Structure 1
Amino acid sequence: MVFLTRTLRVFNQPAFKKMYFGMQGYNKFGLYRDDLYDYTDPVHLEALRRLPPDVYDQHCFRVVRASQLEFTKQFLPQEEWPSYEEDQTKGRFLQPYIEEVQKEKLEKEEWVSFLSKD
């Protein structure tokens, strides 16, 4: 139990999070964290649909560019990689929309269950 507690403390350290960010490698393709979602999930699809047009265009550009880089087995120049700090601020562009869609879905389920009790 002590080992688990110490391990969890290490995982929550900013230095470890930054190191793990570099190990994941999606920044080498110019992607942010929210660009990696599986868009077969209806919640993510609806959140993506609600994005402002300019943010959606930026997302599409990053995904297409990353696909092309992966196909040619190349990475972006290191100057163009998003940093850990940039990923923490700009890379969570989809989160507010996902939370909004999940709240609406939960509210809808509560209404359905409330109405079905009658």
Structure 2
Amino acid sequence: MPYPTLYNTVKNSRFLYGLLKPVASFYANIAGYRQLGLRYDDILEDENDTAREALRRVSPKEQDLRNYRIRTAFQLTLQHNILSKDKWTKPEDDVRYLSPHLDEVVKEEEEREAFDAIKVVRK
């Protein structure tokens, strides 16, 4: 039985969702990554083995788009500039492309650890 998470609790409660959705949108806007043309998954740490494996599973086209967005954001940061407002990442375009792969890799790692921890008792 899966344990209840804060995410699922908020998502299933209309009151909590209605209360926290504007706060989450406000936070995403002031974080500034959308003003540089980035998506949320572009700013996730990709220096651990789990994230590297998830990035390897993303389609080559999505990898190229991700690299382009990161390079553009890096160049804008060096210039102390942001994109024009019409080029910002819109909330509806900020979809999670890496998170499903990350979840899959984490589940596989947990399964591998559980399988490796099995003790064989010989009769």
TM-score of the pair, normalised by structure 1: 0.83
RMSD: 1.6
Which of 46, 70, 80 is the aligned partner of 1:39? 46
**Whole-Å separation in 2 of the counterparts to 1:99 and 1:10:** 23
Q: What does 1:72-111 correspond to in 2, within 5 Å?
A: 72-87=79-94, 90=95, 92-111=96-115
C-alpha displacement of 1:79:
0.3
Tell me: CA distance 1:51–1:10, structure 2 relative to 1, closer, same or farther (3 Å).
closer
Which of 97, 102, 116 is the aligned partner of 1:112? 116
**Alignment-mate amino acid for residue 57 of structure 2:** R
Q: Larger relative contact order (C-alpha < 8 A, sep ≥ 6)?
A: 1
Tell me: CA distance 1:11–1:71, structure 2 relative to 1, closer, same or farther (3 Å).
farther
Structure with greater proportional helix content? 1
Which of 18, 22, 25 is the aligned partner of 1:18? 25
Which contiguous aligned blocks of 4+ residues in structure 1 show a shift greater than 4 angstroms?
A: 9-12
Is there any run of 5+ residues in structure 2 with no aligned partner, and where?
Answer: 1-15
Post-superposition CA distance 1:14-64 (Å, at most 9, x none): 221111111111111100000001111111110001110101110010001
- Give percent identity, aligned residues only: 30
Which of 43, 50, 59 is the aligned partner of 1:52? 59
Residue pair 1:10, 1:16 contacting (<8 A) in 2 also:
no
Question: Secondary structure of the equivalent of 1:13?
Answer: helix
Residue correspondences, number: 105
